[in-house]
């Protein structure tokens, strides 16, 4: 576990969060994917929360669903707040995650479809196509149909080794399905389309690996999370984002079932949702703010991958998270079978 000292006064202090003295812990633990993103949340929200409450915020990551299941089943939950994909909270609301206070179930100015009784949207990214401008100096693929067109655009394609909410939708759009007609997903049609580029796919299994693919120019085009494309672009990787048919995705903040201080956890989530913290996290690490209208001060690379501009938001494809959650077992079974063929 990382321990981050949070006495630096980096963010303006607002009104203190009321807590009964006997309910006030010395610290809480916030868990997410870890690495630079964890550091960004601690430097922004963690410091702000300590300044309000006197409660230190420690970080842990990367978090995993099996870890959380073990904690809850053993009755030894050490995470006070956890950031997870929304399908987790939809699938395990009341089992691994406790229902949030009513105000956190009805947060204004968040994109609908991602939050639920056990999770509130906090930060997101775009599943974004990028192409190598050296490979295609006269212009590269402009949509997913182009991505699958190996005759017009020969080269290696980078894809995430996963299926929920991304690759099947990409394949169906490449096959002519309109974004508004994606669900329910036609799994047979999606996998048949993926077959057409199977020999040209290089899979990445972590966000860091996709960044490395861009920097090493291992692939000629790829689907990457916008937040992970940022460091590659900042380091000069010759890739251009294509803001067309990108799939927007938001993670949610949740309180694990059995968390030791649920009221404090809820107050920490409220601090996360303040515009100042939303903007600061995006400035430190280029996630898309959960609160619509947040305006972080971004560098050039950050602006290239920022998904929350009006034009990019209007052109985004939103997955049907509830359908994906209900069908995730079948989706993952089919994906594993397809990979192992």
Element (H, E) at 84: strand 81-84
pLDDT digits (tens, 9 = 90+) for 227-250: 899 999 999 999 999 999 999 999
With contact defined as beta carbons under 8 Å apart, do 226 and 303 qualify? no
Backbone angles phi, psi at 310, to 5 degrees: -55, -40
Helices (runs of H) and strands (runs of E) counted in the chain = 16, 9
Q: Is the pLDDT of residue 207 over 90?
A: no
* CA proximity to 116, closest of 97, 96, 89: 89
pTM above 0.85, yes or no: no
pLDDT of residue 5: 33
User: If pLDDT is split at 50, 70 and 90, which confidence band does 314 have?
Assistant: confident
Quote the tokens at residue 296: 């972080």
User: If pLDDT is split at 50, 70 and 90, which confidence band does 15 have?
Assistant: very low
Alpha-carbon gap, residue 183 to 177, rounded angstroms: 10
pLDDT of residue 3: 38
Alpha-carbon gap, residue 166 to 203, rounded angstroms: 13
**According to CATH, what is the number of the domain 125-249+308-339?**
3.40.190.10
pLDDT digits (tens, 9 = 90+) for 251-306: 999 999 999 999 999 999 999 999 999 999 999 998 999 988 888 999 999 999 98
pLDDT digits (tens, 9 = 90+) for 167-176: 999 999 999 9
User: If pLDDT is split at 50, 70 and 90, which confidence band does 2 have?
Assistant: very low
Backbone angles phi, psi at 25, to 5 degrees: -80, 165
For the chain, give every residue range classified as CATH 3.40.190.10: 21-124+250-300, 125-249+308-339
Q: Could you tell me which CATH class the domain 21-124+250-300 is placed in?
A: alpha beta
Bridge-based pairing state of the strands 120-132 and 288-289 = antiparallel
Only one residue has tokens 């999606």, namely 190
Alpha-carbon gap, residue 42 to 23, rounded angstroms: 22
Paired with 247 in beta bridges are 127, 317
């Amino acid at each position: 576990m990382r321990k981050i000292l949070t006495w630096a006064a980096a963010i303006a202090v607002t009104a203190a969060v009321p807590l009964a003295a006997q309910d006030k812990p010395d610290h809480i633990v916030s868990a997410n994917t870890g690495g630079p993103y964890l550091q960004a949340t601690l430097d922004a929200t963690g410091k702000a929360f300590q300044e309000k409450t006197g409660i230190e915020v420690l970080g842990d990551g990367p978090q995993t669903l099996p870890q959380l299941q073990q904690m809850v089943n053993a009755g030894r939950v050490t995470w006070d707040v956890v950031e997870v994909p929304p399908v987790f909270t939809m699938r395990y609301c009341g089992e691994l995650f406790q229902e949030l206070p009513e105000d956190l179930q009805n947060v204004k100015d968040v994109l609908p479809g991602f939050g639920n009784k056990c999770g509130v949207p906090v930060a997101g990214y775009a599943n974004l196509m990028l192409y190598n401008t050296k490979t295609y100096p006269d212009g590269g693929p402009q949509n997913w149909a182009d991505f699958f067109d190996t005759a017009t655009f020969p080269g290696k394609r980078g894809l995430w080794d996963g299926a929920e909410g991304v690759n099947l939708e990409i394949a169906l759009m490449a096959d002519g399905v309109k974004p508004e007609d994606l669900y329910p997903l036609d799994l047979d049609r999606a996998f048949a389309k993926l077959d057409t580029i199977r020999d040209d796919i290089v899979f990445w299994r972590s966000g860091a690996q996709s960044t490395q693919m861009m920097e090493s120019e291992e692939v000629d085009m790829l689907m990457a999370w916008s937040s992970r494309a940022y460091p590659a672009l900042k380091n000069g990787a010759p890739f251009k984002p294509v803001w067309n048919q990108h799939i927007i995705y938001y993670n949610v903040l949740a309180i694990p079932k059995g968390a030791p201080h649920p009221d404090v956890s809820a107050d920490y989530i409220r601090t996360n949702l303040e515009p100042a913290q939303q903007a600061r996290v995006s400035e430190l690490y280029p996630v898309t703010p959960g609160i619509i209208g947040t305006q972080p001060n971004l560098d050039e690379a950050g602006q290239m991958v920022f998904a929350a501009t009006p034009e990019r938001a209007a052109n985004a494809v939103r997955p049907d998270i509830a359908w994906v959650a209900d069908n995730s077992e079948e989706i993952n079974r089919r994906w594993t079978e397809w990979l192992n063929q």
